[in-house]
Amino acid sequence: MIAKANLIKPMSKLEPMRNEDNDLVPIFVKSVKTAKQKAYNKTS
């Protein structure tokens, strides 16, 4: 959304944020999966 709206100029400033997002998303996904698995194991 930020890129499409041209909210950051120059666009090269946006690249480090995109890289960080790409690093953080898998961490959050794994965290959610782990939490769900632990919750499931507690009820079993």
Please write the tens of the pLDDT for every residue from 1-44.
Answer: 888 898 888 989 989 989 999 999 999 999 999 999 999 998 87
pLDDT of residue 27: 97
| Alpha carbons 2 and 14: distance in angstroms, whole number | 8
Residue 26 structural domain: 11-43
| Residue 29 belongs to some domain of the structure | yes
End-to-end CA distance of the chain: 42
In a domain, 25, yes or no: yes
Q: Is residue 23 part of a domain?
A: yes
Look at residue 28 and tell me if it is in a domain: yes
- In 3D space, the residue among 18, 20, 25, 16 whose CA is nearest the CA of residue 1 turns out to be 18
pTM check: above 0.75? no
In a domain, 4, yes or no: no
- Does the residue 2 lie in any domain? no
Residue 6 lies in a domain: no
Residue 21 in any domain: the answer is yes
